Structure formats: structure tokens, C-alpha cells
A = this chain, B = another copy of it.
Amino acid sequence: VIGQTETNTTSPLLGVLGGMGPAATADFFSKLTKMTLANRDQDHVAAVICSFPQIPDRSDAILNNGATPLPAMLHALSVLEGCGVTRIAIPCSTAHFWFDDLKRHTPLPIIHMVDAVACTLRDKGIGGGSVAVLGTTATIRARVYAERLEKWGFDCVAPGDAEQARIMDAIRAVKAGHLRNRQCAEAVRQVAVNLLKGGAQSVILGCTELPLLLPAVAMPDLIDATAALARACLLGTRLDFPEL
């Protein structure tokens, strides 16, 4: 029960390592709330959200040897631990490049976004085979989705270079606040359509900025990684993740 500090460590309290970017974190929080079966405030999940947008750019670190975001992410993790959170979610795909580093620094469970996506794929009846991932160039090159989804039995395909450049433009547009940029949304949609035509069973919006531009409801074959993570947070330990 919140308000009783003594019992706080045993009450579930979700910690969100966020701000990468902040609009995506807000979207995650909003989806978490909307996906909760609740008749009143008190039925909802308690959460502490650290939105620390000053965490250095993940893509820049992976692709250009830019400043590593790890120390800032570890700081956020320690702030969350200090709040007594019992598990962690990170609504940023690219940040999962540092998942193992973060995991080494905390005894708390961190819900891996790619595992959450795998569970959503399975629940849609897609148990393996080819799926496409739209994400930052860093996420694609670092194989954040590809490597982990392979363990779940999926083969990942990604857009070609020209299409990938359009995905990055769209992600940057959202990060700059242009959530209603129709041209970018249409470009993302077209890339997704091409990947589905090419044989992908599903297209994962594998960057948390993308669902802000192109809601997954717009196309039944899209998987919203943000929504998948929110869902995994609500299902909590009832989700049967394999030990990866």
C-alpha cells in the first residue's frame, strides 16, 4: 500500500526508464493506463517514470562512437531503485542495446521489449518465420530485434538503405515534435506495405516514436512495440518468458 513505506518493497511498483524520447514515454504511459482494466483510479498500476531526455543519443553512440548513454541510464536506474520500484520497463528500442549492461547493475527484473513483441506476435498466431522490423538505423545495425527474435524462432528482415533513410527521417520528425506529419506517416506506411508484399508476416514498429506517427490500428499487420511492452508490464510475471 502506497503511503506505508515499510511495505513498499513488496507492493508491485513499475519503474519506467524513459525520456528516450519523452513523447514515446508519454505514449507508453498512456497505453499502460488505457490497457488496464479499471473501474476507478485505485485499480491502476503504480509507477514511477523517470523521463530523462538528456540521456545521450543512443543512435549516435552506436553508429558514430558518440557519448555512451550508459552512465546516464544507470543513474536513472539507481533513481528508480531508490524509489522502491520492483521491475523496470524501458520504452526505447535502441536503448535495449545496453540491456545486458543494465541488467548486470540491478537485481530487479527488466522486461525486455523484444520479448514483449515476441509474445504479442505469438498471441496473434505468428509463432515464427519472417517478420520485418522498422527502427532506428542503430537498432537495425546492432541487431537489437534480430538477435533476440531469432531465439524466439523468427527471422528478421529490415528495409533497404533508401527506405531505412525514410524511416529515420520519420523518427527524427517525431522527436522534433511533428507528430502529425502526414508525409512521414505515409512514407512509413509505404515501407511497411513493401515489406509485407516481400513476405514478412508482420511489421514491427520497433522504435517507440513510430506508433506516434502511424498508430498500429491503421494497419492490422503492424505490431506496436510500445503497446506490446505496456501489455507485458500489465501481465507481469504471468508472462512466460524463456530464459534468454
Binding site for B on A (CB under 8 A): 1-5, 19-23, 25-27, 29-30, 32-34, 36-57, 71-72, 74-76, 79, 82-84, 172, 175-177, 179
A168 to B127 alpha-carbon distance, docked (Å):
46
Q: Are B82 and A40 in contact (CB under 8 A)?
A: no
A-B pairs with the 7 shortest C-beta distances?
A3-B72, A44-B53, A21-B41, A49-B49, A26-B30, A41-B53, A26-B29
Q: Are B75 and A3 in contact (CB under 8 A)?
A: yes
Residues of B within 8 A of A5 (CB): 75
Instruction: Given A19-B46, A30-B26, decide whether A176 and B53 contact each other with a Cβ distance below 8 A.
Output: no
Q: Are B48 and A19 in contact (CB under 8 A)?
A: no
Instruction: Given A26-B30, A38-B176, decide whether A53 and B46 contact each other with a Cβ distance below 8 A.
Output: yes
A227 to B20 alpha-carbon distance, docked (Å):
22
Q: Are A46 and B51 in contact (CB under 8 A)?
A: yes
